[in-house]
Amino acid sequence: MDREIIKRIVDEAKGEEANLVIWDKRDTFTVEPKAEVSVENDYLKVTMEDGKATVYIEYDAIYKLVVEKERSNRSGTRAGFGAISS
């Protein structure tokens, strides 16, 4: 996935104080707004609350990012960006 797209999505999640959901080749991660997210040259660095855990996710391993906004009275769909890798 492209670094600029990832940066734009991370910035949107921060601005909205929303969760960021990351799908990569290994797993799915939900990053809460309290976590520190850093867009580096080749990877996304996520430091969880109180620095107890740090996750590094290579851009090539990410195939979908979603900004999960809080749901109001009705359930809604997640809006996100995805890239299909071969």
* Distance, CA of 43 to CA of 71 (rounded, Å): 29
Q: What is d(CA 35, CA 14) in angstroms, rounded to the nearest whole number?
A: 10
Q: Would the pLDDT of 66 be above 80?
A: yes
* Res 37: pLDDT: 94
Q: 């910035």: which residue's tokens?
A: 11
pLDDT of res. 86:
40
Kindly tell me if the per-residue pLDDT of 22 is higher than 50.
yes
Q: Phi and psi dihedrals of 49, rounded to 5?
A: -50, 135
pLDDT at 42: 93
Q: Please give the CATH topology (third level) of the domain spanning 3-82.
A: SH3 type barrels. (2.30.30)
